[in-house]
Structure 1
Amino acid sequence: MTSKPSDPLADVGLPAPVLLGSASFTRKLILKEMGVKYHKLVRPIDEKGLGDRSKDAPTDLVLALGKAKMDHLVNEIKAGNCKDDMPKANDAGTQEWVVLTGDQVVTCNGQILEKPESIGEARDFVSRYAKDAPATVGSCVLTHLPSGVQVSGVDTATIHFKPTVPADLIDKLIELDEPIMSCAGGLMIEHPLTREHVEKIDGTEDSVMGLSKDLVLRLLGELAEKVKAESK
C-alpha cells in the first residue's frame, strides 16, 4: 500500500492553500511535486524599474524583487482588490494565509540575465553557456497573513553545459511552442532538448527551475516558528 505524500504545510501547522504570487509554470509544478496546495494570485509590478543590474549583487536583486512583489500583493489583498480572485477560505476554514513570491535571474560571466526580451536575445544568452557556466540565483519570500510575519532566502545553482550546445537550440524549443521567453536567461533546463547538453549541475534542478524545494521547506519551518512566537 502506497503511503500518502507528506503535506509540508500541515507538517508545520500552516494553513493551505498557499497564495502563489507568481505566474511561473515551473514554480507551480514544483509546489505540486512537493504536495503544497496553492492558489495562484498574481499582481504584476514593474520589475525593470527596480534595482541596478550593473551594480547590485544578484542575491540582493532577487531578494529585493521578491519582496517588492510581496509588498504589492499584500497591499492589494489588504485593500480588498483581490476579493474576486481569493479562495473563499483556506483548508482550516479561516482567512489565514501564507503568501509566496519569488524572483530569479541567471548570471553568466559576471552579467545578470533576466527573461529575454526577444528571440535574438534568448539565442545570445544560450550561445554563451557552453563557454561560461551560467548560475541561477533565486529568491523565495513567505508572508503570513494577517500577522505580517515574513521570512525569505536565496538559493543558487551552477549549470555546466557540454561544449556541444547547438546554435539552434532556442529555435527548436520555440518550434515546439515552449515558453522560453518566460525563463530567466532563456534557460529551460527541464526540457529534454536542453537536458541532453548538460554535463552536471552544482545544486538542484528545482533550484535551476526557479524554486528550491529545500529552501521552501526551510522557510516554511521558520515561518511557522515565528508565527507561533508572535501569537504568544
Structure 2
Amino acid sequence: MEANAPQFKLILGSSSTARKKILGDMGYEFTTMSADIDEKAIRKEKPEDLVMALAEAKAEAIIPRVSIGESEGDAEPTLLITCDQVVVYEGVIREKPSSEAEARQFMKDYANGHAATVSSVLVTNLTTGSRRGEWDKVEIYFHDIPDQVIDKLIEEGIVLYAAGGLIIEHPLVLPYIKEVVGSTDSVMGLPKALTERLIKEVL
C-alpha cells in the first residue's frame, strides 16, 4: 500500500484497545463505534459460525447509526470493520469469564495444555453494500502456569474481560506460552493479513 492516505473512510466497530492498536499499527486512520448488542442472544454450535454471526450482528447494529455523505458521486467509500472472538478449549466455546472463579478455572485448564482462538473479521463497504467476512484460528500451547501468576492476573482483572480469560501478550502470561501456531495479532483480536485482504476485496 502506498504511503498516501487510502481513499476510503474506515470505522472500527469495536471498543477493544488491542484491536485499535493493531489497526493503527497497520497504518490506518479510523474512527471507532461500538455495537451494543446482547451477545448471549446469539447462539451457534460451531465457534466459527458463532464469531461470524456476532460480527454480522455488530455490523447490523452499527450501520443504521452511520451517516454516509450522499453528496458528490466520487465521494470516498466508508468501510466498517466488525469482529468477534471466542476461545475454544477441548471443543467447548469459551466467552468472557462470568466470575473470578471461572477465570481461575480457565487458566488452570490451559496450564500444560492448549486452547485455540477463533476470530472473525467482517468488512462492510457501506457505500456499495459489498461485504466480506472470514474467520481465523490460532492454536496456543502452554507450559504450566503457577498459581501465584493466576492470582496476580485475577487480582489485576483484565483477564475477566477477555474471551476465555486469555491474554497471551500479557507480560505475566508470555513466559508460559510454549508455542503459538498462527499470528499473534489474530489472538489479540484482529488478524492483520486477513483484515488487509478483506478491505481490498470490498473496495
Task: Give the drift of 1:23.
Answer: 1.2
Residue identity opposite 1:57 in structure 2: K
**CA contact 1:8–1:217 (8 Å) conserved in 2:** no
Aligned 1:1-232 pairs, distance under 5 A: 10=6, 14-16=7-9, 18-52=10-44, 56-77=45-66, 94=75, 96-162=77-143, 164-175=144-155, 177=156, 179-224=158-203
Moved over 4 A (4+): 5-9
Task: Give the drift of 1:168.
Answer: 3.4
Unaligned runs of at least 5 residues, structure 2: none
Task: Give the drift of 1:35.
Answer: 1.0
Task: Give the drift of 1:107.
Answer: 0.3
Q: CA RMSD in A?
A: 2.2
- Alpha-carbon distance change, 7 to 43 in structure 1, aligned in 2, over 3 angstroms: farther
Query: How many residues align structurally?
Result: 199
Q: C-alpha distance in 2, partners of 1:8/1:161? A: 42
**CA contact 1:139–1:155 (8 Å) conserved in 2:** yes
Identity %: 39
TM-score (ref. length: structure 2): 0.90
Unaligned runs of at least 5 residues, structure 1: 79-85, 225-232
Q: C-alpha distance in 2, partners of 1:8/1:37? A: 12
Q: Deviations over 1:13-72 (max 9, x none)?
A: x413x21111111101111111121211113100001013xxx11111100110111111
Q: Deviations over 1:159-213 (max 9, x none)?
A: 0101x211233321244x4522221111111111101000110001111111100
- Alpha-carbon distance change, 7 to 120 in structure 1, aligned in 2, over 3 angstroms: farther
Alignment match, 1:83: none
Task: Give the drift of 1:145.
Answer: 1.5
